A and B are shown apart, each in its own frame.
Chain A
Amino acid sequence: MKTNPLVEFLASYGPQSSSNNLYDEFVVEAAEKASCAPLQFNQPLTKELVEMLQSAAPKSVILTGTAGDGKTYTARRVAEAYLGTTKVWGNTEKIFEVPPGSLGSMSQYRIRFIKDLSELNEAQKTELYPEIEASLSGQSKDVFVICVNDGHLLKFFRDRAHNTLHDKIVVMLREDERKDPDGHFLLINMSRQAHRHLIDEIINGVVEHAGWAECEGCPALKDQNLCPIRCNLDILRRNDSASMRARLKDMIRMSAADGRHLSIRQLILLTVNILLGDAKSGSTLLTCRKAQTRARQDEYAATNPYANAFGVNLNERERRQYGAFAMLNEFHVGFETNNHFDHGLLWGDDRLPTCPYYGERIFSSSRDSYRGDPNRHAIAFQHEMVNQRRRLFFSINPESDAVKANLHHNPYNLSIFKHGSSYVAMVDYLLAEGNIPSSIAKSLLRGLNRMMTGEMTITADRLWLTAPSGVYLGSEIPLLVQHAGRSAQGETLIVEFRLANHESPSSDNGKPPSSDNGRPPMIRVTARSNKESPVELPLRPTLVECLLRIADGALPASFSSECRREIVRFQLQVASFVQHTFDGAVPMPKEVLMIEGKLQEHPIAIMAEGDSW
C-alpha cells in the first residue's frame, strides 16, 4: 500500500481539534514536515501591494477582516515577494522590519510588517503608536503593513484618544472605502473579496496541488473500487454548470449577500472536508489507509462528498463550531423536495443524473428494502433520500434547457431557496448587462406591491409605494404615497435595479459595473428631478426568496417577519424621501383599493386635489 503525504497535510486544514494549520504561523512548519508545498492561492492583491510598496511613494496599508481571512497570509506573501525570497519572516516574529535600502529592498523608506497588532502588548503598542500615527497622517515616510481586525484597530486609536484617525477609519470601514480621503494610507477589508472567485481559487489550490502526482502507482487507483479520495477529487475537479463546484459558488455568494461571510480559513476547511470527510464512526477524515479500506469494503456511503459538504461526518457541536457547515446547512438542502425528485429517486427516472459511486451503489439496498416493507425501513430510507437529494442538488444544471422547460426540475427546489437560480441569474445579468431579466423584475415588483398594499394584486408594472400608518396596535390600512416606475414610464419617482457598488459611486457613466463585491443588488428609488440621496432596498437572497414566493402565491409565516421589517423600513424611508424631495408640494396620500386583482388609487375626497401637506 502507498500513502500520499499530501492527504495528511490537507487533513491538517480540516475540521479537527489539532488543526493548527488554520493559523498561518503553522502552515509553513506543517508543509515542511509533510514535505509538501504549502497551498498556494492566486491573489491579485499581493501583486498590487508589492507594486505599491516598490513605487516612489509607498503608503502604509492596514489589512483588516475577520479571523481567518488571510491577513497574515497576505502580509507574509507581500514581504516575501517584495524581498524576492522566501523564509525571511520568522514564524514567531511579531514585527518584521525591512530597513531602508536593505538587500532586496528598493525602497529608501523603512518598512515594518506587523503580524497582528492585537498580539503586541500595551507597552509595545504605546511605543509604536506615535510612529504609526505619523505614518497614517502623512507626517512621516515610514511605511507600515499592519494586520489587525477592525474592532481592535478602532480600540487601538480609541484607547489613545486619537479621534481624527478613529473617526476616519470608522467611516472608511462602514463605507468600504479603500483609500484614505487624504491619500496617506490604504485600508483593505479582507472580508470584502469576491467570494465566488475565492472558493474557485481555493478548490483549485487543493485539487490541482502537485502532490496528487504521488498517488501514481498506488494500487487503489487501478482497482475497480476506486479510492474514495480520488472519487471525491474527480467530483471537485469538475467545473461546469452541472458541477458541485458551480453550486457551491452560488451558495457561498448567496450567503455572502445575506451577510454571512466565510473566511478563507473556513473555505479551505470546507473543501478539505468534502474531499476527505468520513462518516464511519470513530473517524472524521480519511487517511490513505482508511480510504483503501472503505473502497475494499464498498463503504462509499461513509465518504459521500455531497453529505460531507454539510458536515455529516461531524457531530452537532462541531458542525455549529465551524461557520462553513452552519452556513451551508441553512439552505436545508435535502430536507426540501418535490414529487419530481422523490418519485424519480424511488422509481427511477432517466432524466436524473447518475453517479457511479454515490448514486445507486449506496442507495439501492435501502430503497429496495423500503419498497418491500415501507413501515420497517422508513427511517433509514429517509436518511438516504436526504443524501440522494443532496447529490441531485449538486449535479443538476439549473440553466439547462430541460430545467428551464419545467420549473419543478430546478435543483433549487431541493433547498429552501426555491428561487435561488433567479437570484443567481439576476446578479449575473446585472454584472454582465447592468439590468435584470424583465420576468424577474416583474415578479419582484408584484411581490413588493403585495407586501406594501396587503392586497394579492397582480399589478407589476410599477411600484405602489405606500406608507404603513404606524398606529399602535391598530388596523393597518396603508395609504399610497407615490408610484415609482421605470424611467420610460414618466413617473416622478424612478425605480431601478442596480448592483451595490460602493467602490466607485462617482464613475456612473452608463457603463455596467463589473466588480462583484459580494454585496446584494439593490432596488433603488430616486426622484426624476433629482438623483441625489436615493432610497435603496438591498435585495438579499432571503428577501428575494420572500418576494418571489409572495409573487407566486403565498409563503410560510416564519419566513416573513424579518423581511416584513425590511420592507416597512424601506416604505418609511420612501415616505420621508417624498416629503423631503417634494418639499412644499408633497402630493396628498391616497387610498388604495383592488379591483379584480388590479390596484386602483382613490384620492381623499375631503381634501381637494392639488392640496399639499
Chain B
Amino acid sequence: MIPDAPTVKLQAPSTLLRSAGMNVDMRVQELIHGHRFVQEQEPFMIVLEALAVCADLPLGSVQPKAEAHETFDYTLPHRRKMRFLLFQDRHLEQVVQDRTIPDHEKWSAWKDRVNAQFGEGQQDHDSGSAHNAFAYLDDKFSRDINSLHQAVRLLQSRELDIMHNRRWTSRFLAVTGPDLICTDMREARMKEARGSWSPDRRFFGRGGELVYLMLNRSSLAETLGCQIKKRLLNPDDPMNRIAQALSDPADTSASNSPVGYLPYLKLPAYDRIAEDWLKILRCDHLPEGHLFEPLFRITSLNLLVYLAERARDEVGEADAVPIVADLTDGGNSQLREISKIHLNRHRDEANRAVKFFVERALGANERWKMAQERGDPGLAKQAICECFRFTKDDDQRGNASTPDQQLKAFIQQAVSRDKNNIHKYLLPLAKASGLATSRPRIGTWFALDDGMLFALVLANVDHTIELRDFVARLYERYRIVIGPEEARDALAGRIQVEHYEANLAALEARMTRLALTQRLSDDCAFVANPYTTGN
C-alpha cells in the first residue's frame, strides 16, 4: 500500500463487514476511510450517534490496540415510552383542553386513552406491560395532568430539526443528559414481531461510530470523555431530569450494535477533531444546550479534512486539496468560481483515491498478476473478489471481459455506488454543515455560514488573537483559504490578490456582525471568543 504509511492499518474485524446487517457489497471505501458514511445521515445525526456510543462506553474505556481493531458492541436504549409520550401520544393535549372532562378525572381519562393507543402499536408483543403501560407516571406526577403536560411540552421543545417530519422512531432530542439520547429505530410491521424495535441504519449510518473511534484513538480520549460527561451527559441537567421523569424505570429494552470500522490506528486528523471538541466543550460561559450546534459543525469540517487527507495519502500527493472559502456570499464571482473549482476538486480527488487504491491493491495481488499475464478473465474475477469481496453484478464483468476491462468496470462500480461513496457524500456533508452553499444555475461552492464561523471561533480561539493570526490558523489546521497570504501558499502563487483581500474584509464584516471581532483601526482587528474563561 502507501509506501510511507502514516500509521498502522488495522484489519477489519472478520465478522464486521461480512455480517448480513452491514450490507457491504464491496470493500473499497471501507478500507480507505472506514465503514461508513451515508448521505441520509445528516451531520448533526453523526454527533448524536457518537454521543449515543459515549453514553454507553465513555471515551477511553476501550483501549485501542495496534494488533487488532476494536471489537465491541454498544447498547442503544429504546426509551420507547418516553418517545411515545413526546412524539406519538395524541390524547394529552386533547384531554387537557377538553372542558367536558372534570379536572379530577382528566388523569384517568388520559391514561385510558393513551394505554389503548400504546397497546395498539404492539399487539401480541409484551402484552402484559401494554395493559397499563404508563402506570409509572402516577406517582411521579402525583396524577397531576398539568404538570405532566408541562413536562411533555418542555421536552418536546428540545426536539431537533423539527421541520423534517420524520417517523416517530426517528425523531431526536437535543442531548444535554444521558436520558435524552434517542437513536434511530425501526418498528417491525410483520405480524409475529409487530411493534418490536431494532436499530435502523438509515439516519444513524455509523458515521458517528467512526467519529467515536477517532476521538477514542486520539491522545485526548480520556480528558474528552470527562468533558463530555460533564457537559453533555450530565444526569443532573434539568432537561435530563424531566426525561427521567417521563421514562419508565422498568423499561430497559435496548438493542446492541457492533461498532463500525475505522482503518487507521493513529492519524493527525484524530487529534485535530479531539482538540476541537475539547475546546468547544471547555467554553464554560456557553450554556450546555448551545454546545451541540458548534460541535456538529466542527465535526463535519473535520470529517471533510479527514477525507481529503485520506485521499491525498492514497493518491500519494504532498498536500490535501485546500478549502478555498468564499466569504462574500457569492458577491465576488471570480472567488466563487475558484471556490467551486476546489469543491469539485475534493470530489474528484475522492474518485482518484478509489482508482489508486484499487490499482495498488490489485498490483500487489499474485492472482491478479497471473490473470494479467495470461489474460484470464476467470482468474481476474477471482482476484477482484478476493481483494474487495466483490461478487455482485456479474453481468457487467462477464467471463469474456479482459482483466483490464474488468478493472475499469470495477472502478466504475466503486465510484458510482450509493453508500459510502465520498464523491457523492461531500456535497451534502458540506452543505448541511454550513461549509458550502449552492444557487440555481451556479452550483455549489465553499462558503462558510455564520454557524460555521461561530464554531471555528469556539474551536480555535481561547485567548484573543489578531484576525490575521486566526485566518492563518484556519489554514494551518484545516487548509481553509481566506486571505491573500494563504491563497499564495495554497494556490502556488497564481492568485489575484484583490479577491482575497476582499474576502478577508468580508470575513471581518461578517464576524463583526456576529460580535466576534473588535476593530481597533484601519489596520488591526482582534478575534475574541466571548465564551471562555481564558478570555
A residues with a Cβ closer than 8 A to B are: 64-67, 149-152, 154, 170, 173-174, 189, 191, 259, 467-477, 479, 562, 565-566, 569, 572-573, 575-577, 579-580, 588-589, 591, 602, 604-607, 613
Task: Please give 17 more A-B residue pairs, beta carbons under 8 A apart, in addition to A151-B521, A471-B159, A472-B44.
Answer: A67-B522, A149-B522, A151-B523, A174-B518, A174-B520, A189-B521, A469-B158, A470-B291, A470-B292, A471-B157, A471-B174, A474-B157, A474-B162, A475-B159, A475-B162, A479-B154, A572-B290
Of all chain B residues, which has the CB nearest A602? B150
Is B485 located at the chain interface by the 8 A CB criterion?
Answer: no
CA gap between A577 and B287 in the complex, in Å: 10
Which residues of B are found within 8 Å of A575, using beta-carbon distances?
Answer: 287
Shortest C-beta distance, A577 to chain B (Å), equals 8
A67 partner residues in chain B, CB cutoff 8 A? 521-522
Q: In the complex, which residues of chain B have a beta carbon less than 8 angstroms from the beta carbon of A477? A: 153-154, 157
Kindly state the separation between the CA atoms of A591 and B238 in the bound complex, as whole angstroms: 12
B530 → A minimal CB distance (Å): 7
Please determine whether A472 and B160 come into contact, CB atoms closer than 8 angstroms: yes
Please tell me if the beta carbons of A149 and B523 are within 8 angstroms of each other in the complex.
yes
B387 contacts chain A at the CB level, 8 A cutoff: no
By the criterion CB–CB under 8 Å, are A573 and B174 in contact? Answer: no
Set of chain A residues within 8 Å of B141, measured between Cβ atoms: 605-606
> What is the chain A residue whose CB lies nearest that of B43?
A472
Task: Chain A residues near B524: list those with CB within 8 A.
Answer: 149-151, 154, 173
| Chain B residues within an 8 Å CB radius of A66 | 521-523
Given A259-B519, A572-B286, A573-B530, decide whether A565 and B513 contact each other with a Cβ distance below 8 A.
Answer: yes
**Pairwise interchain contact B160-A474, C-beta atoms closer than 8 A:** yes
Q: Which residues of A contact B241 (CB under 8 A)?
A: 606-607
Query: What residues of B have a CB within 8 angstroms of the CB of A189 in the complex?
Result: 520-521
For the A-B complex, the count of residue pairs with Cβ-Cβ distances under 8 Å equals 139
Q: Are A604 and B238 in contact (CB under 8 A)?
A: yes
B154 touches A65 (CB 8 A): no
Interchain residue pairs A-B with the least CB separation, the first 10 = A151-B523, A605-B147, A151-B524, A470-B290, A470-B289, A477-B157, A576-B285, A66-B521, A150-B524, A473-B161
23 interchain pairs, CB-CB under 8 A? A66-B521, A149-B523, A150-B520, A150-B524, A151-B524, A152-B523, A170-B466, A174-B520, A189-B520, A467-B287, A468-B290, A469-B157, A469-B174, A470-B293, A472-B161, A472-B296, A475-B157, A475-B159, A477-B154, A572-B287, A576-B287, A588-B238, A589-B238
User: Is the CB–CB distance between A473 and B519 below 8 Å?
Assistant: no
| Nearest Cβ on chain B to A330's Cβ, whole angstroms | 14
Residues of B within 8 A of A152 (CB): 523
- Give the dominant DSSP class at B's interface: mixed
Q: Are A613 and B236 in contact (CB under 8 A)?
A: yes
CA distance A470 to B526 in the complex (A): 26
Cβ < 8 Å to A, chain B residues 488-535 = 512-515, 518-524, 526, 530-531
- B242 interfacial by beta-carbon distance below 8 Å: yes
How far, in whole Å, are A66 and B523 apart by their CA atoms in the complex?
8
Is B237 among interface residues, defined by CB-CB distance under 8 A? Answer: yes
- Shortest C-beta distance, B315 to chain A (Å), equals 35
Q: By the criterion CB–CB under 8 Å, are A473 and B287 in contact?
A: no
The docked-state distance in angstroms from the alpha carbon of A569 to that of B289 is: 14
Interface-centre pick from B154, B514, B522 (highest chain A CB count, 10 A): B522
Q: Which residues of A contact B73 (CB under 8 A)?
A: none
- What is the chain A residue whose CB lies nearest that of B289? A470
Kindly provide the distance from the CB of B103 to the nearest chain A CB, expressed in whole angstroms. Answer: 15
Complex interface: chain A residues within 8 A of B238 (CB):
588-589, 604, 607, 613
Query: What is the 8 Å Cβ interface bit string for chain B, positions 262-306, against chain A (1 contact, 0 not)?
Result: 000000000000000000000011110111110010000000000
Residue of B nearest to A467 (CB): B287
Q: Is the CB of B522 within 8 A of A473?
A: no
Nearest chain A CB to B528 CB, angstrom units: 8
Closest to A171 in B: B464
Is residue B144 contacting chain A, with contact meaning CB distance below 8 A? yes
Quick one: given A151-B524, A472-B292, A477-B154, are A604 and B242 in contact (CB under 8 Å)?
yes
Task: A469 to B522: give the CA distance in the assembly, Å.
Answer: 37
* A481 to B, closest residue via Cβ: B287
Q: B150-179 interface mask toward A, CB cutoff 8 Å, 1 = contact, 0 = none?
A: 110110111111110000000000100000
- Shortest Cβ distance from residue A68 to the other chain B in the assembled complex, whole angstroms: 9
Closest chain-A Cβ to B97's Cβ sits at a distance in Å of 16
Closest approach, in angstroms, between the C-beta of A138 and any C-beta of chain B?
Answer: 25
- Known A152-B523, A173-B520, A607-B238; judge A591-B154 contact (CB<8 A): yes
B234 to chain A, nearest CB (A): 9
B290 touches A606 (CB 8 A): no
| B140 located at the interface, meaning its Cβ lies under 8 Å from any Cβ of chain A in the complex | yes
Q: How far is the CA of A467 from the CA of B141 in the complex (A)?
A: 26
**Measured between alpha carbons, how far is A159 from B44 in the docked complex, in Å?**
42
Distance (whole angstroms) from the CB of B305 to the closest CB of chain A: 22
Question: Does residue B245 face the partner (Cβ distance < 8 Å to A)?
Answer: yes
Does B115 interact with chain A (Cβ within 8 Å)?
A: no
Q: Establish whether residues A150 and B523, one from each chain, have CB atoms under 8 Å apart when the complex forms.
A: yes
B-chain residues with CB within 8 Å of residue A154 when the two chains form the complex: 466, 524
Is B365's CB within 8 Å of the partner chain A?
no
Q: Which residue of A lies closest to B290 (CB)?
A: A470
A469: contacting residue among B163, B284, B289, B521, CB under 8 A? B289
Contact A565:B174 (CB < 8 A) given known A472-B293, A606-B151, A606-B242: no
Kindly state the separation between the CA atoms of A472 and B153 in the bound complex, as whole angstroms.
17
- Residues from chain B with Cβ under 8 Å of A588 in the complex: 238
Q: In the complex the two chains form, what is the Cα distance from A447 to B398 in whole Å?
A: 74
Residues from chain B with a CB closer than 8 A to the CB of A259 are 512, 519
Cα distance A247–B439 in the bound complex, in angstroms: 44
